[in-house]
Amino acid sequence: MWSRLRRIARWALPFLVVVSFTARPAPAQEGEEEKPFQEPGISYREVKKPYIQWLVGTFLILAVLGVAFKNPHRTHLD
């Protein structure tokens, strides 16, 4: 019985792997593309040079690294 299951698994598993790679995902929706939601009365401006976001991100990364490598001064635990 076990040899029969092994024989089936030996052929079925590679077949299922190949079939799973050839499967095509179904499209979510066809037709007209939706526009992103815009709140009425609020204007949004396009940011051409996102230097503020980069500066804030760099500062946060440096702050996290600074805290991670900070000397804890645990001399009282000797």
Where is mean pLDDT largest: 2-6, 15-19, 26-30, 40-44?
15-19
| Residue range 26-54, pLDDT digits in tens | 776 666 666 777 777 777 666 677 788 89
Length of the chain: 78
Angle, alpha carbons 31-35-38 (nearest 5°): 155
- What is the pTM (predicted TM-score) of this model? 0.36
> How big, in percent rounded to 5, are the helix, strand and coil portions of the chain?
55, 0, 45
